[in-house]
Amino acid sequence: MKRAVLVESGPAFIDEKIKELGDWRGKTLAKVREIVHEADPEIVEEWKWVKPTSPGTSVFSHGGIVCTGETYKNVVKMTFARGAALKDPSGLFNSSLDGNVRRAIDIHEGDKVDEAALKDLVRAAVALNLKAKSKSKPEPKPRRASSKRAN
């Protein structure tokens, strides 16, 4: 007989992380989370990469990972999984700029987040994920016209 295992949801873990921090980092993560959801109400919150050396990371997904929300001693970091492929006209990306795939935004205590630019970045990341996802689906083979002729 299988036993039911209680699995907490991503949102519950993120709520707990914000509460646990109880400082500017928690407030910043909560604000970033709010902005992400305003940009795309279909965002799914997940809690990934839990291991003995790490309690895990908040992940925001739609058609794939959009970004993570990590907290460190002096920074809240939003890492966009495919950030190198995104246009960033407002210059929000300020970390992990040398990577081939990811780009990040480090938010320090007292920094003001450009909400409109961040929403644009989130929407662009979702669009990129959905575009890539639609391309990865095999297209149906075109049907060939019948070679039989009507007599």
CATH code assigned at 39: 3.90.1150.200
Residue 140, domain member (yes or no):
no
Cα three-residue angle 128-133-138, rounded to 5 degrees: 145
pLDDT tens readout for residues 87-142: 999 999 999 998 899 999 999 999 999 999 999 999 999 999 999 877 765 555 55
Residue 110, domain member (yes or no):
yes
Residue 144, domain member (yes or no):
no
Cα 118 to Cα 22, 46, 79, 122, 125: the distances in Å are 24, 20, 12, 6, 11
Residue 150, domain member (yes or no):
no
Structure tokens at 145: 């016209």
Overall number of domains in the chain: 1
Question: Which contiguous run of DSSP H or E holds residue 10?
Answer: helix 10-21
Amino acid, single-letter form, for residue 57? T
Residue 4, domain member (yes or no):
no
Identify whether the C-beta of residue 57 lies closer than 8 Å to the C-beta of residue 47.
yes
Identify whether the C-beta of residue 63 lies closer than 8 Å to the C-beta of residue 126.
yes
pLDDT tens readout for residues 34-89: 999 999 999 999 999 888 888 889 999 999 999 999 999 999 999 999 999 999 99
Residue 2, domain member (yes or no):
no
Domain of 16 in residue numbering reads as 10-129
Residue 142, domain member (yes or no):
no
Cα–Cα distance measured from residue 50 to residue 3, given in angstroms and rounded to the nearest whole number: 22
